[in-house]
């Protein structure tokens, strides 16, 4: 990691907020972008990138692990692995029994001086316990909605709980959504069998996100011939108050459904997440993973993490930079759209001063080769990874 100070990035092709990419220099001072111009002279350190792209740093709002790192291990090591893979900001999603989740958040707050030592970690996300079904998790990870459990988790997280996943068909879901939304916590619809009416009521109560759209959502029931079944996902696609996240590997969600979502959701209402598990980012091969996962096979970022013994998909192998590349190569978007769904929209969801290359923004950015390989990762004005 580089020392803090002024940094001048020279000979760069800068992706601007309007989608244009032009040659310029980027001056970073005190962790923020202070100027973008053709000629800038003041700086203590200069980084000549030889015509490489400078794009916003990627923000992953939903991940469980990468390589051998997770929120269960060192957050500093977790952040280093994320930097290698393009994330300048990320939010660990916790999926475990409530008391274990509470203990984990307390431990990590203490170990990182309230997350100050890991500025890439922008908070915690609770994917459990308030779900209708566990999906790839365990039944012990779930619990009915209660004030006792809610208060325990809020106390354990302190000011760092940013997103809470909730199935709106659970008893007491609507009062909880109202309470959390009033406290500034983003509520996201997840692992649910809700009706359209229940989902609309949750949205009216303040719910503003949808967790990995199409994944863990019930399929519509078969109707008589000639009557097309309407599913919850149809409502979510046309509800403009909801920002939908998608796992963009072509395995968890069929590419045609991703294309459908691009066409349905207005700009700023779709974002990509990795939902990555331990094993993501590793070279193709077989590995023994920690935390009781057992032996898994990794074929590449788009094939998922697969348990060898049962030959089943057990999670995503995506990395942040793979999401960015897939937006361009798999889904036919340009670099500006890729940056929007992997950086700008996630920043907007949480009100972060990130996600765009413009003066005044946090100096979170990537330097990419023409093939979209990561040359440098810069977070808060520091070089946290160099190829």
Give the CATH number of the domain where residue 313 resides. Answer: 3.20.20.140
pLDDT in tens, 56-75: 999 999 999 999 999 999 99
Beta bridge partners of 170: none
Q: Please tell me whether residues 40 and 63 are part of one structural domain.
A: no
Is the pLDDT reported for residue 93 higher than 90?
yes
Specify the pLDDT at position 328: 98
Does 30 reside within a domain?
A: yes
Does 2 reside within a domain?
A: no
Does 363 reside within a domain?
A: no
Q: Is the pTM for the entire model greater than 0.85?
A: yes
Q: Please tell me whether residues 138 and 32 are part of one structural domain.
A: no
Confidence tier at 5 by pLDDT (50, 70, 90): low
pLDDT in tens, 70-92: 999 999 999 999 999 999 999 99
Q: Please tell me whether residues 345 and 376 are part of one structural domain.
A: no
pLDDT in tens, 177-190: 999 999 999 999 99
Q: Please tell me whether residues 46 and 107 are part of one structural domain.
A: no
Does 1 reside within a domain?
A: no
Q: Please tell me whether residues 145 and 290 are part of one structural domain.
A: yes
What average pLDDT score do residues 230-246 get? 96
Q: Please tell me whether residues 220 and 252 are part of one structural domain.
A: yes
**Distance of alpha carbon 21 from alpha carbon 12, whole angstroms:** 9
Cis (ω within 30 of 0) for the bond into 364?
no
Q: Please tell me whether residues 274 and 381 are part of one structural domain.
A: no
Q: Please tell me whether residues 185 and 128 are part of one structural domain.
A: yes
Q: Please tell me whether residues 160 and 20 are part of one structural domain.
A: no
**Distance of alpha carbon 126 from alpha carbon 156, whole angstroms:** 12
Q: Please tell me whether residues 35 and 144 are part of one structural domain.
A: no
**Distance of alpha carbon 367 from alpha carbon 387, whole angstroms:** 10
- Residue 149: closest CA among 79, 219, 99, 217: 99
Does 37 reside within a domain?
A: yes
Confidence tier at 38 by pLDDT (50, 70, 90): confident
CB 145 within 8 A of CB 115: no
Rounded to the nearest integer, the mean pLDDT of the chain is 94
CB 128 within 8 A of CB 142: yes
Which residue segment(s) compose the domain that 263 sits in?
58-354
What average pLDDT score do residues 371-377 get? 98
Number of domains present in the structure of the chain: 2
């Amino acid at each position: 990691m580089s020392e803090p100070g002024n940094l001048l990035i020279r000979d760069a092709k800068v992706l601007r907020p309007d989608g244009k990419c032009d040659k310029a220099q980027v001056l970073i001072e005190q962790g923020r972008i202070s100027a973008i111009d053709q000629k800038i002279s003041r700086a203590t350190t200069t980084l000549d990138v030889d015509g490489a792209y400078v794009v916003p740093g990627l923000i992953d709002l939903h991940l469980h692990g990468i390589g051998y790192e997770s929120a269960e291990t060192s957050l500093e090591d977790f952040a280093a692995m994320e930097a290698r893979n393009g994330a300048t900001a990320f939010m660990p999603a916790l999926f475990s029994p409530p008391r274990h989740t509470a203990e984990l958040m307390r431990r990590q707050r203490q170990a990182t001086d309230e997350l100050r030592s890991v500025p890439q970690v922008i908070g915690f996300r609770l994917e459990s316990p308030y779900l209708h079904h566990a999906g790839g998790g365990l039944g012990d990870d779930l619990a009915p909605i209660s004030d006792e459990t809610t208060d325990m988790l809020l106390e354990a997280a302190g000011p760092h709980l940013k997103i809470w996943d909730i199935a709106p068909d659970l008893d007491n879901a609507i009062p909880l959504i109202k309470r959390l939304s009033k406290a500034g916590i983003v509520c996201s619809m997840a692992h649910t069998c809700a009706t359209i009416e229940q989902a609309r009521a949750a949205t009216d109560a303040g719910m503003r996100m949808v967790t990995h759209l199409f994944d863990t959502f019930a399929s519509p029931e078969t109707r008589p011939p000639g009557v097309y079944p309407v599913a919850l996902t149809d409502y979510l696609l046309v509800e403009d108050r909801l920002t939908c996240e998608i796992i963009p590997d072509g395995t968890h969600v069929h590419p045609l459904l991703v294309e459908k979502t691009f066409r349905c959701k207005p700009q700023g209402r779709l974002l990509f997440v990795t939902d990555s598990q331990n094993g993501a980012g590793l070279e193709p091969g077989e590995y023994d993973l920690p935390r009781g996962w057992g032996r898994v096979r990794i074929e590449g970022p788009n094939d998922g993490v697969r348990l060898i013994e049962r030959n089943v998909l057990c999670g995503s192998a995506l990395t942040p930079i793979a999401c960015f590349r897939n937006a361009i190569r798999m889904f036919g978007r340009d670099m500006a759209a890729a940056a929007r769904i992997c950086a700008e929209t996630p920043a907007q969801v949480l009100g972060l001063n990130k996600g765009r290359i413009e003066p005044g923004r946090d100096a979170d950015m990537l330097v990419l080769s023409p093939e979209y390989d990561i040359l440098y990762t810069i977070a808060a004005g520091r070089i946290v990874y160099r190829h």
